Amino acid sequence: MLSNHSIFVKTGCLGAVLVILLAAVLFVIRKPFAEDQSPYCLPVLADYEVCWSGANAVSDKGQFALVQRSGLFGHRSVLAPICSYALSGRYIVGTTPSEYYLVDTEEGRVTVTSNRQEWEDVLAKNEVPTSVSFRDPHRVAASMPAEVLRPREFIVMRGRLGLTDRQWDVIVQMAGVAASAFLGLCWARIVVGVSVSATIGLAAALLSPTNILEGGPGALGGAITHPVICCAAWYCGRLVGKLVPSRVGRASCCTRDGRADGVE
């Protein structure tokens, strides 16, 4: 029979573990847009998009590029590196790091000029007003939902609770760690504990939305490392559980033959 003190302490330890894990999960999954440095694509017109390469892919041609999607699988072809863009009917116009451009979306024609006067002549030839207002892609993207900018991150879970598939990865994997730690508090047998914890870790890794969608070496790595992490969590829970007496002590200890000490 478990003592009230044992139940209280183990429940408190479990609660502390869950609070720490929950805080870690919320810190990871509630990252605002301004801190999200992953690539995204901003829909512009028809099959044309403005794509950002991400904070870790800076080049001398700029971070933004005007691209065109084509084919069944949406292959993207880069038309020009850009700094800004504007829409006028079927035309997309704007600036590159050192030039000006005009794209005719119906004919698929891209015109690049080296100075503003030549660019204004091209605009006049295509009946595009020179008073178009340029847009900053970052500012436009900041006002759009993440589902539009990064649709591949909402394929499996479809944005449930407003979270991406990668954020759901964190939740699923942390749930596996918490379950393993709780198992360690309640079950100290090594063979069963390690086996069950490894199974929980493997299931959490394989059921992560990103692994379901992508698979490959990343899924294999998770299937190897996450069971090890869950086994470590089980062992930590086991250590905490052993610090607290699991049974009510008797007035005297029993001997191997079942008689109490001091009893004739």
Q: 246-258: per-residue pLDDT in tens?
A: 543 433 333 334 3
Q: Which tokens in the block code for residue 180?
A: 């393993």
Decide which of 74 and 122 is more confident: 122
pLDDT at 105: 92
Residue 170 host element (H or E): helix 165-186
Q: Note the pLDDT of residue 181.
A: 86
Q: State the pTM of this model.
A: 0.61
The CA distance from 168 to 248, in Å, is 42
Instruction: Tell me which of 27-36, 214-223, 246-255 is least confident.
Output: 246-255
Residues 30-35: what's their mean pLDDT? 50
| Other C-beta atoms lying within 10 Å of the C-beta of residue 109 | 11
For the cut 80, the answer to whether the pLDDT of residue 259 exceeds it is no
Strands 40-45 and 100-104, how do they pair? unpaired
Give Cβ neighbours of residue 196 (< 8 Å, ≥ 6 apart): 180, 183, 187, 234
pLDDT in tens, 39-83: 888 999 889 999 988 655 444 444 899 999 887 777 888 888 899
CB 176 within 8 A of CB 132: no
Neighbours of 70 (CB within 10 A): 12
Sheet with 48-52: strands ordered across:
40-45, 48-52, 64-70, 75-82
Other beta carbons within 10 angstroms of residue 113's beta carbon come to 17
Contacts for 5 with CB less than 8 Å, ≥ 6 apart: 244, 245
Q: From CA 209, how far away is CA 173, in angstroms rounded?
A: 11
Closest of 34, 2, 1, 23 to residue 178, by C-alpha? 23
Q: Do residues 206 and 227 touch, judged by C-beta distance below 8 A?
A: no
Question: For position 240, what pLDDT does the model report?
Answer: 77
Highest mean pLDDT among 5-14, 36-45, 207-216: 36-45
Confidence of residue 29 (pLDDT cuts 50, 70, 90): low
Query: Largest alpha-carbon pair distance within the chain?
Result: 115
C-beta of residue 62 within 8 angstroms of C-beta of residue 81: yes
Out of 52-56, 71-75, 125-129, 138-142, least confident range: 52-56
Report the amino acid identity of residue 207.
Answer: L
State the average pLDDT for the chain.
77
pLDDT at residue 60, rounded to an integer: 44
pLDDT over threshold 70, residue 6: no
pLDDT at 160: 82
Please give the distance of CA 70 from its chain centroid, rounded to a whole number. 27
100-104 vs 91-95, strand pairing mode: antiparallel
